[in-house]
Amino acid sequence: MRVLGIETSCDETGVAVYDGSAGLRAHAVHSQVDLHATYGGVVPELASRDHVRRVLPLVEQVLADSGLTADALDGVAYTRGPGLVGALLVGAAVGRSLAWARQLPAIGVHHMEAHLLAPLLEDDPPAFPFVALLVSGGHTMLVQVAGVGRYRLLGESLDDAAGEAFDKTAKLLGLPYPGGPQLEQLARGGEPDRYRFPRPMTDRPGLDFSFSGLKTFTRNLVMASGDDPQARADIARGFQDAVADTLAIKCRRALRQSGTGRLVVAGGVSANQTLRARFDAMAAAEGATVHYPRLALCTDNGAMIAYTGYLRLAGGDRGTNGFNVTARWPLEALVEPGAG
């Protein structure tokens, strides 16, 4: 079974073809970062319009790269939510139209389920059950995963998402949007313990997070240190170490609680090498394994949508009825493939 995947939930247009026997055949992403950089964040109307411009050429490119024509497809998956409604509607309209014209099933995929399953596209994928840490621009969640569609939320951020905290902190440090990757660069030249940030909510039981305090902590340090470039690098380092420690402490707790010995870390922030090193060290000490997506599949992409659509269609889901998208959609509302 071959499934075309279309991602348009935010500021990346992503398209891919996943093939049940040959694996990922091709994928391509167009990032709108340059388009939104001037505004310091994603402008929803501009995002929707750019998806309109990009999505069909990307579909053609990915089909050509796959060596396939649309005739060879068995289904179409598109991101149904959560995300920006106008942006989601572009992918839904294109995906459903393609499917309708060819009498194929069209399936609306949950964006966070797709992030969560992306590490299964790698060699040596984790077996179920496992614990998943999802760290992206809009979400920070710990999830107990029993199988595809079997998710129990263990904890989440009570305020800013991890990626949002990276982006806001980067902005305070004068870095352009989206600042996560640039903050990681800046932190490389920073001294480890010059600034000791708090590790929020690690001193009490539970698996929830809070990152908004780190941003305030940064603001105060930036005001006190003026334009000193070394101080900026040291602040970036202090911030990143605090996020790394906090996430690793909560993951260790979740691993011990679940007893699965397998941790999946996915979403844009999982591209961060300092964080990965911290998770790897924690897991080694716990006798657990950690599984990440390859770097290109950490941030938004079509491959994770095509793959999730494939798993669901191959597992017995019939496709989504009706043309609607879902801006807010809890992961726990999902059910196993074939059970809906």
**Residues found near ligand ATP in the complex (CB under 6 A):** 9-10, 83, 111, 115, 136-139, 163, 166-167, 178, 180-181, 184, 267-269, 271-272, 299-300
Say which entry of Mg ion, ligand ATP, Fe ion, none residue 180 contacts (CB below 5 to 8 A, set by partner kind): ligand ATP
- The interaxial angle of helices 85-101 and 44-66, nearest 10 deg, is 30
Q: How far is the CB of 111 from Fe ion (least distance, A)?
A: 6
Full DSSP string of 76-95: EEEEEESS-HHHHHHHHHHH
Q: Output DSSP code: residue 137.
A: S
Minimum distance, C-beta of residue 88 to Fe ion, in the bound complex (Å): 12
**Pairing mode, strands 75-81 and 2-7:** parallel
Residue 166 binds which entry of Mg ion, ligand ATP, Fe ion, none, CB below 5-8 Å type-dependent: ligand ATP
Instruction: Pick the closest to residue 209 from 257, 282, 146, 154 (CA basis).
Output: 154
- Give the span between the Cα atoms of 179 and 239, in whole angstroms: 13
Q: Which of residues 11-70 bind Mg ion (CB under 5 A)?
A: 11-12
Closest to 254 measured CA to CA, from 153, 156, 131? 131
- Rg (C-alpha) for the chain, rounded Å, is 20
Binding site, annotated residues: 111, 115, 134-138, 167, 180, 184, 272, 300
- Looking at the Cβ atoms of 98 and 165, the one nearer to ligand ATP is 165
What is the enclosing helix (H) or strand (E) of 217?
Answer: helix 212-225
- The residue among 166 and 197 lying less far from ligand ATP, judged by its C-beta, is 166
What span, in angstroms and rounded, lies between the C-alpha atoms of 101 and 91?
15
Reduced to 3 states (helix: H, G, I; strand: E, B; else coil), residue 264 is strand
Q: Which does 86 bind (CB under 5 to 8 A by kind): Fe ion, Mg ion, ligand ATP, none?
A: none
Q: Point out which span in 96-104, 119-127, 131-139, 330-338 binds Fe ion (CB under 5 A).
A: 131-139
Please say whether the dihedral angle defined by the alpha carbons of residues 110, 116, 119 and 120, taken in this order, is positive or negative: negative
End-to-end alpha carbon distance in the chain: 20
Quick one: 187 or 269, whose CB is closer to Fe ion?
269
The smaller minimum CB distance to Fe ion, of residues 136 and 140, is found at 136
Determine contact, residues 240/194, Cβ cutoff 8 Å. no
Binding to Fe ion (CB under 5 A) within 283-302 occurs at 300
> Annotated binding site for Fe cation: which residue ranges?
111, 115, 300
Choose from Mg ion, Fe ion, ligand ATP, none: what does 81 bind? Cβ within 5-8 Å by kind. none
- Minimum Å gap between C-beta 20 and Mg ion is 28
Binding residues for substrate: 134-138, 167, 180, 184, 272
Identify which of residues 2 and 80 has a Cβ nearer to ligand ATP in the complex. 80
Using CB under 5 A as the binding criterion, the count of chain residues that bind Mg ion stands at 3
Q: Give the binding site for Mg ion (CB under 5 A).
A: 10-12
